[in-house]
Chains A and B, each alone.
Chain A
Amino acid sequence: MRNLLLIFICIIFFSCSTKQNETHNTPSYIIDIDKAVVEEQLLYSTVFHKMKTIILETSEQCLISMIDKMEVYNDYIIILDTRAAKSVFVFDKEGKFIKKIGTVGAGPGEFIYPVDITIDSKRGEIYILDFSSQKILRYHISTGAYLSTINIHRADGNSITKICYVNDILYTDAAFPNQSSTNYLMQALNASSGEKKNVYFTTEYTNKGWYDMYEINSKAFHHTGKRSLFNQYFMDTVVSLMPQVDPFFIIQSNKLPTQKDMEKFASSDFSNRHKIDKITDLNKFIEYKDFIFFEYRLGFPFKNIIYNKKTGETFQYKYITNDFLFNIRDYTIPIFGYAASEGLYTFYEAGGIDRLIFFIEEGWCSDKLDRKEEILNLDEDTNPIIFYFEYKDLNI
């Protein structure tokens, strides 16, 4: 009896005192931005061999204000409009409206403020994160049928704004109300029960002198066409979630924020962060063949990087010109939507279409732009236009 008690005490002691240090493999690639070869211009036609214009159907049932997130699954283009419609719309690849998934409301299978979606392509299911209730709702994509609700275990007091499904695991970001050494940037939940399986990038691990201060990225999770990635605003490390959570690449530069910069951030108005000439906000990740493409913010403007995984060479382009759309070097190339394995989906917001019409009327649009006449006839009520660019054999 005494021995049993001793064993029990030992178990309790070790389970409480064992501190698991977070360890990860070393990143597969180190990208030194300062050593990038600066080139003048990258043409879309260097990378893509054709473009397709997808004019999304416009009707009272499927009016979209903003595309907050786009996913592509089989023949469907799935669009989340977080703010006005608070809805998830499914279109086919010709732009025909198919259905809405879920409805706004507080009842079972309804959501109030859908802030993110993620796809389980194996089962053909979609997960919708309701920020208001901090619940994740699961639906069948083809039928639109509501399947279940996952209640997120929130013992740590964090709230989540982004989700990403990978192999039966739902990865989420984690926003904490207070700074603490126990905070973390990402967690893994069981996709069925919502039970927490693991936490990643604790303050202790990621701490570069700024505690857990980071801004929730507009997109914490990214699809490159080959894998899912995780990255937050101030992270210099881009994490791959496949086959396991490990650093994919790390960036090096003299322009990365230092501890002093972060203290400055912390003590000043956070909205002024763009005024500081530092590298932040890595985004728009694309992977094709041996190349990784991404953008980052240096102060306010975005810069691009193309990294060759095979040779280790890094390139930066002063201009990226969409010569499928324009005859001129235009700075308003369509907005990045979704990187698929076979191509890239971009879009023009409803509010930006009049500008595109102006470009067509001025003769500034390329002959490669199809459906010009239809675009010219669009009115202010129209839904966004999607431009899909298909990769060709890449040889930059």
Chain B
Amino acid sequence: MKTRIINISIFLLVVILTVIFVIFNKIKPENDYLSYEHEIQEIPEVFIKELRLNQINETLGVNKPILVYRYTTDVCNSCLHEDLYELSKWLDHLGKQNVMVLPAYPHNRDTRIRLHNELAKFNYKNISSDSVVIPFDKDGNSKRYFALISENGEPELIFFPESGKTELTDFFLKRVQKKIKNNKD
């Protein structure tokens, strides 16, 4: 009888621990998202100001909200394709016309070939880093980013994707979709 009680107790303990583990893992992305929200507040004001000054929508000749994805040659190949893959998954929901990929590559034949093949699914424009700001990290490496720019050229949402954290990119793009939809309504 005593052994049976011990066995049942162990079984219950295992079940409870499993449930706690599952719940913890489920809420983890939310926690990550919160930290991402926190990061948003830490985006240097100077970068937002510069982004605002750039008037991306004017540079691109659009008068509607537009999501831009900006990167330079510094970006690692797999990071870039991770981002582009996430973006391509959301392209239909966001509307291809509402998304613009903005690489900052040297203007030559090789770049033309590369972008034509790499960004075949997207609207894109190769513009130098003088036209649309690119922030740098502490080590001097440029940081790729997504920014939703309002029709007034105001940066509404900014997100710095991280390698291997595609769920955050996915979460961000979901928010962008909601925002674009709300703006329409």
Interface, chain A (partner B; CB < 8 A)? 60, 63-65, 81, 83-87, 103-107, 112-113, 132, 350, 380-381
CB proximity to A under 8 Å, residues B139-175? none
Bound Cα distance A103, B84 (Å): 13
List the A residue with the shortest CB-CB distance to B85. Answer: A106
Assuming the contacts A65-B109, A65-B110, asked whether A104 and B117 have C-beta atoms less than 8 A apart, the reply is: yes
Interface, chain B (partner A; CB < 8 A)? 77-78, 81-82, 84-85, 88, 109-114, 116-118, 120-121
Bound Cα distance A65, B114 (Å): 9
Question: Residue A132 contacts which of B78, B88, B109 (CB distance < 8 angstroms)?
Answer: B78
Bound Cα distance A380, B77 (Å): 28
Assuming the contacts A63-B109, A105-B81, A381-B109, asked whether A86 and B118 have C-beta atoms less than 8 A apart, the reply is: yes
Question: Residue A104 contacts which of B109, B110, B120 (CB distance < 8 angstroms)?
Answer: B120
For A63, list chain B residues within 8 Å (CB). 109, 112-113, 116
Question: Residue B109 contacts which of A86, A103, A105, A380 (CB distance < 8 angstroms)?
Answer: A380
Minimum distance in angstroms from B53 CB to a CB of chain A? 33
The reply to whether A132 and B81 form a contact with Cβ atoms under 8 Å apart is yes
For B82, list chain A residues within 8 Å (CB). 106
Report 26 cross-chain contacts, Cβ distance below 8 Å, ordered by A residue. Answer: A63-B109, A63-B112, A63-B113, A64-B113, A65-B109, A65-B110, A84-B110, A84-B117, A85-B113, A85-B114, A86-B117, A86-B118, A87-B117, A103-B120, A104-B81, A104-B117, A105-B84, A106-B82, A106-B84, A106-B85, A107-B85, A107-B88, A112-B81, A132-B77, A132-B81, A380-B109
Question: Residue B78 contacts which of A65, A104, A112 (CB distance < 8 angstroms)?
Answer: A112
Q: Give the top 6 A-B pairs by smallest Cβ distance, nearest first.
A: A106-B85, A84-B110, A84-B113, A106-B81, A63-B113, A84-B114
For B84, list chain A residues within 8 Å (CB). 105-106
The reply to whether B114 and A105 form a contact with Cβ atoms under 8 Å apart is no
Bound Cα distance A87, B109 (Å): 15
Minimum distance in angstroms from A345 CB to a CB of chain B? 22
Bound Cα distance A104, B88 (Å): 12
Main secondary structure of the interface of A (DSSP, over half): loop
Count chain A CB atoms within 10 A of each CB in B114, B120, B121 and give the residue with the most.
B114
For A380, list chain B residues within 8 Å (CB). 109
Bound Cα distance A85, B114 (Å): 5
Bound Cα distance A80, B114 (Å): 13
Task: For the A-B complex with A63-B109, A105-B88 known, give 8 more contacts whose Cβ atoms are closer than 8 Å.
Answer: A81-B113, A84-B111, A84-B114, A85-B114, A103-B120, A105-B121, A106-B84, A107-B85
For B85, list chain A residues within 8 Å (CB). 105-107
Bound Cα distance A113, B84 (Å): 14
Minimum distance in angstroms from A161 CB to a CB of chain B? 15
Bound Cα distance A112, B85 (Å): 10
Count chain A CB atoms within 10 A of each CB in B111, B113, B118, B120 and give the residue with the most.
B113
List the A residue with the shortest CB-CB distance to B114. Answer: A84
Minimum distance in angstroms from A166 CB to a CB of chain B? 30
Minimum distance in angstroms from B35 CB to a CB of chain A? 25
Bound Cα distance A85, B121 (Å): 14
For A85, list chain B residues within 8 Å (CB). 113-114, 116-117
Minimum distance in angstroms from A132 CB to a CB of chain B? 5
Minimum distance in angstroms from A336 CB to a CB of chain B? 22
Minimum distance in angstroms from B111 CB to a CB of chain A? 8
Minimum distance in angstroms from A67 CB to a CB of chain B? 13
Minimum distance in angstroms from B106 CB to a CB of chain A? 12
Bound Cα distance A42, B72 (Å): 49
For A65, list chain B residues within 8 Å (CB). 109-110, 113-114
For B117, list chain A residues within 8 Å (CB). 84-87, 103-104
For A106, list chain B residues within 8 Å (CB). 81-82, 84-85
Minimum distance in angstroms from B69 CB to a CB of chain A? 14
Minimum distance in angstroms from A159 CB to a CB of chain B? 13
Bound Cα distance A60, B117 (Å): 10
Minimum distance in angstroms from A64 CB to a CB of chain B? 7
For B114, list chain A residues within 8 Å (CB). 65, 84-86
For A350, list chain B residues within 8 Å (CB). 109
Bound Cα distance A50, B82 (Å): 49
List the B residue with the shortest CB-CB distance to A107. Answer: B85
The reply to whether B118 and A104 form a contact with Cβ atoms under 8 Å apart is yes
Minimum distance in angstroms from A264 CB to a CB of chain B? 34
